[in-house]
Amino acid sequence: MAFEAYDEYEQSERVQQWLRQNGLSIVVGIAIGLVGIFGWQQWNKHKADHQAEAANLYQQLSVAAAAGKNEGADTLTERLVKDYPDTAYALFAMGDRAQRQVQAKQLDKALESLGWAESHASDANLKALMQLRSARVLLAQGKGAEALAALDRMAPKSYEGVAQELRGDVLVKLGRPDDARKAYEAAKAALGENAPQSVQMKIDDLAVAGKQGA
């Protein structure tokens, strides 16, 4: 019994000695852990607030644009680009601005807006969407080779049906009817039952043109 009591006493002394030697490290470790948890919670809250603020600005922008208040929409776009460039709302805002610029026949400015959105998009689908829109604008400018390059930058299978149809349009512009027909057929296959009649009409037009040129 005396031995057991001594053993317990010795163990207690060893524990207390260890705590004296390492107690500060334990306290510091616990404090760092608590700060880390609190900091992580605060960071998540900051990100959520950041996204919510950007969403609110984009909603205001959409209302202004719908009301034809382009100047106000542009001001809100600049705020999103400056203060919230890491959010998808800034990309949407620049995409919307590009659309307004296209409607105003400001195609070079539209390409600049789309270029900003493409370079800041971290999501592959959003990046591909901006590349697709850039290709449309470039085709409207008569820049077929650049439009084709924009389509080539798109990730495989991204907006495949629409992209292939646009590729066909570009290839027609470049005087490559055989490649254009392949692109239209790929578009029709990708879109399936949702393929618009216009795709088949374009294929038929190429066939007619081929017969006439033969």
Q: Is the pLDDT of residue 97 over 50?
A: yes
pLDDT tens digit sequence for 103-161: 999 999 999 999 999 999 988 999 999 999 999 999 999 999 999 999 999 998 889 99
Q: Is the pLDDT of residue 42 over 80?
A: no
pLDDT band at 49 (very low <50, low <70, confident <90, very high): confident
CB 78 within 8 A of CB 93: no
Q: Is the pLDDT of residue 89 over 50?
A: yes
Q: Is the pLDDT of residue 202 over 90?
A: yes
Q: What's the pLDDT score for residue 2?
A: 43
Instruction: Considering only residues 33 and 128, tell me which one the structure prediction assigns the higher pLDDT.
Output: 128
Q: How far apart are CA 212 and CA 193, in angstroms?
A: 30
Q: How far apart are CA 147 and CA 151, in angstroms?
A: 6
Closest CA to 168 of 119, 201, 194: 201
Domains observed in the chain: 61-143 (1.25.40), 159-206 (no CATH)
Q: Is the pLDDT of residue 10 over 60?
A: no
Compute the average pLDDT of residues 87-105: 93
pLDDT band at 194 (very low <50, low <70, confident <90, very high): confident
Q: Is the pTM of this model over 0.85?
A: no
Q: What's the pLDDT score for residue 13?
A: 59
- The average confidence (pLDDT) of the chain is 84
Minimum mean pLDDT range among 31-35, 64-68, 127-131 = 31-35
